[in-house]
Amino acid sequence: MPNAVATNVNTDSGLLYLTHYDRRQGAFGDSALQVIDAEGGDVVASIDAGRLPRDVAVNPYTDNIYVIESRKLHVFDSVSLEQINEIELNNTVRNMAINPDTNKIFVTPVNTNEVSVIDELNGKVVSTIHVGAPNRGDFGIENRYKIDVNPNTNMIYIANSKTNRLYVVNGSTDTLVSGINFKVYPANTGEIYCNDKKVSDGYFRLKVGEVRCTATAGKDFVFSSWSANQFSSPNSSFSSVPTGQTGLFAPLFSSKPDINEIKLENNGYGNLTALFREAPLPVEFTIPTQTLIQILLIIITAVIGWLIPSIVAWINKHRHKNDIINYMNEINNANNKDRLEELKREISNRYAEGILNSSNYEILKNRISDLVSGLS
């Protein structure tokens, strides 16, 4: 019975490649890779491809034919129809898809969730992608993966009947990705960066797992909050959590809605919007000119009032110093008692008037007394 069919789209040979087995012929029947003339329907060649060949695919650039058989991948030359390689696999596999632009073969398992990535050039498994749950359904019934490749975008699409989901793999990194529709509202009021990549407006595919996003406000705007919704299957989650915190959609409904950095557990498809609002106008504080003049006058008056006592004290100090020097010179130059008595009276009057202080008065009076005693 036929199992799978493929054709080489890069040639005009008109040949089809069909995996075939007949359970009526023993345990696994008459198994083969059949080469069929598409126009006439005749079998032009039959090639041994193991006990139970499954999926078949052709790389149109290398003209190689690939046939899955249990844990093996048989490689045939499409011209000579000879087997040129046999690749051993870790698991029983069922379906495959080839990206001829990257020479990668993606092979889906039967009872595990490990999709093998094979480098066609060296015939080795170069990476393993874990997709959903192990591929076995209820009552031991196998749930098959279906897989296809878009060579133009280098995206691989894998359907899993166990999880009832479609998975997307980035062929450049061989990692699962999911799509998020990002939006800034109002438009052109800020930017969104996720894992250091600008994703402000549009649909972007990001690696499944933890994603950190930051909203940055534009000129005259400030960040307000996040808005998110998911539309993936119930088995997935699209959660957003402030950095350092936990909880589903925590920044959206917590007491701190203005946290501009969030952590997404990106396992599904959804929308994420950064909301911004106009920045508050700066507070302008102005003082009328007349009030400024009054304040300045008050300050000047206070300063002058504080300085006047010090200035007066300084002037008095120097005046007293000059007075005692002048009187002392006159006393020393007096050559008779009458002149000394005259100076004594003058000094006493000055002291009584408060012009001389007591210490200077005593100094001058004692000096006169000494001189009078010397002239007796």
pLDDT one-digit tens code per residue, 90-114? 888 889 999 999 999 999 988 788 8
Instruction: Say how many CA atoms lie within 13 Å of 264 toward its Cβ.
Output: 30
Please indicate, yes or no, whether residues 160 and 135 belong to a single structural domain of this protein.
yes
**Is 284 within the bounds of a domain?**
no
Instruction: Identify the band that residue 141 occupies on the pLDDT scale cut at 50, 70 and 90.
Output: very low
Gyration radius of the chain over CA positions: 51
Please indicate, yes or no, whether residues 14 and 153 belong to a single structural domain of this protein.
yes
Please indicate, yes or no, whether residues 29 and 159 belong to a single structural domain of this protein.
yes
Structural domain that includes position 215: 177-278
Interval 75-84 mean pLDDT: 91
**Higher pLDDT among residues 233 and 66, named by residue:** 66
Q: Which of 375, 367, 370, 369 is closest to 325 using CA atoms? A: 367
Please indicate, yes or no, whether residues 107 and 40 belong to a single structural domain of this protein.
yes
Please indicate, yes or no, whether residues 47 and 166 belong to a single structural domain of this protein.
yes
pLDDT at residue 127, rounded to an integer: 93
**Higher pLDDT among residues 334 and 247, named by residue:** 334
Instruction: Identify the band that residue 328 occupies on the pLDDT scale cut at 50, 70 and 90.
Output: confident
Number of domains comprising the chain: 3
> Exposure pattern of 307-345 as b/e (b: 16+ CB <10 Å)?
eeeeeeeeeeeeeeeebbeebeeebeebeeeeebeebbe
Q: Please, is 289 exposed, middle or buried when counting C-beta atoms within 10 Å of its C-beta (0-12, 13-18, 19+)? A: exposed
The region of weakest confidence among 114-118, 191-195, 325-329 is 325-329
Which residue, of 148, 174, 200, is where some domain finishes?
Answer: 174
- Percentage above 70 pLDDT, the chain: 78
Please indicate, yes or no, whether residues 293 and 256 belong to a single structural domain of this protein.
no
Residues 6+ apart with CB under 8 A from 102: 151, 154, 171
pLDDT of 116 above 90: yes
The region of weakest confidence among 2-16, 121-135, 294-308 is 2-16
Highest mean pLDDT among 98-107, 281-290, 300-309 belongs to 98-107
pLDDT one-digit tens code per residue, 184-216? 999 999 999 988 889 988 888 888 877 888 999
pLDDT at residue 140, rounded to an integer: 44
pLDDT of 350 above 90: no
- Residue 10 sits in a domain whose CATH number is 2.130.10.10
pLDDT at residue 36, rounded to an integer: 86
pLDDT at residue 336, rounded to an integer: 83
Average pLDDT value over all residues in the chain: 78
pLDDT at residue 8, rounded to an integer: 58
Residue identified by tokens 């139970």 is: 52
Interval 34-53 mean pLDDT: 84
pLDDT at residue 99, rounded to an integer: 95
